[in-house]
Amino acid sequence: MWDSLGRIIPYYPDQLTSYFAFDLADSLISAVNHGSAAGLLGGYLRYQETQPAYRWSPFLSNHDGTRSMTRLGGDWAAAKLAATLLLTLPGLPFVYYGEEIGMTGSKPDERLRTPMQWSAGAGVGFTSGTPWEPAQPDAARSNVAAQQGDPLSLLNLYRRLIHLRRDNAALAGGRLVPLTSSNPSVTAYLRRDGAHAVLVVANLSGAVVSGLTIGSGAGALPAGIYQPHNLLGGPDGPRLEVGPDGRIQSWAPGSGNLEARASLILDLIRP
């Protein structure tokens, strides 16, 4: 079921299992398309305060709406960023088939539900017969076989993020704690499970961000020194110091630069 949050509340806790959070899909895709972090986390925080995380499903697209890759203008870097946000933010994420390989599609409904593109060629690995709808024009590139062996492909990013979310309690069910950023194109947040936290920093824009610093309000983390460990590979972040009041003050990721559409997922480890 889907609807606005206000209409859902009267049916909770005994008349619904899980429901699509359409407003979150719109805000996430809009944030990536416009390169602005404003408004991205607000909806997630509202759901967090009123509903258990397993009761609402963020998503990027579904069988009734334009596919996310089409909404993102075919931008593969943007699609990777959207996937990273979806799978590091709270809720019960929903991935529509083909989204993990960048399938495109727009109305009418039949063109949103074309055969899964397993490989190039006739039938796209879905059937040896005639499918109910022909494959999308992007089938030669957007298929499982073409992306399977590429460690940098969208498909393999989805796989890594899903495994990471499953294996990390903070990402799976931790509380969302918004952080402040010195740049309006950068979103930053914690997923916190007790004393364990993961820090996510993402540059939503198509340009390099320099001089970036991250901060927080009081109580974001227990006081102490943390060593950020990069969960997606690459260099770890510089140590992060949290004051007695639980604030993060002017922490810079590495050189303070963040590449266009780039993101960091950092496990915060107490030495």
Q: Are residues 194 and 265 in the same domain?
A: yes
Question: pLDDT for 212-222, tens place per residue?
Answer: 999 999 999 99
pLDDT at residue 13, rounded to an integer:
66
pLDDT at residue 87, rounded to an integer:
98
pLDDT-based confidence at 1, cuts 50/70/90?
very low
> For the chain, how many structural domains are there in total?
2
Burial 174-206 (b: 16+ CB within 10 A, else e): bebbbbebebebbbbbbbbeeeebbbbbbbbbe
Contact between residue 134 and residue 111 where contact means Cβ atoms under 8 Å apart: no
Domain region containing 86: 5-167
pLDDT-based confidence at 224, cuts 50/70/90?
very high
Q: Are residues 93 and 216 in the same domain?
A: no
Question: pLDDT for 30-82, tens place per residue?
Answer: 999 999 999 999 999 998 998 777 788 999 999 999 999 999 999 999 999 99
Check whether 2 has a pLDDT greater than 60.
no
pLDDT at residue 166, rounded to an integer:
96
Question: pLDDT for 100-147, tens place per residue?
Answer: 999 999 999 999 999 999 999 889 999 999 998 999 999 988 999 999
Q: Report the C-alpha gap between 97 and 113 in whole angstroms.
A: 9
Burial of residue 2, with CB atoms counted within 10 A of its CB: 0-12 exposed, 13-18 middle, 19 or more buried? middle
Q: Are residues 92 and 63 in the same domain?
A: yes
pLDDT-based confidence at 6, cuts 50/70/90?
low
Would you state the structure tokens that stand for residue 65, as one six-digit string?
A: 């709406």
Question: pLDDT for 175-198, tens place per residue?
Answer: 999 999 999 999 999 999 998 999
pLDDT at residue 231, rounded to an integer:
96
Residue 210's domain is classified under what CATH number? 2.60.40.1180
Domain end point (choices 126, 150, 167): 167
Q: Are residues 187 and 236 in the same domain?
A: yes
Q: Are residues 233 and 214 in the same domain?
A: yes
Q: What is the mean pLDDT of residues 235-245?
A: 94
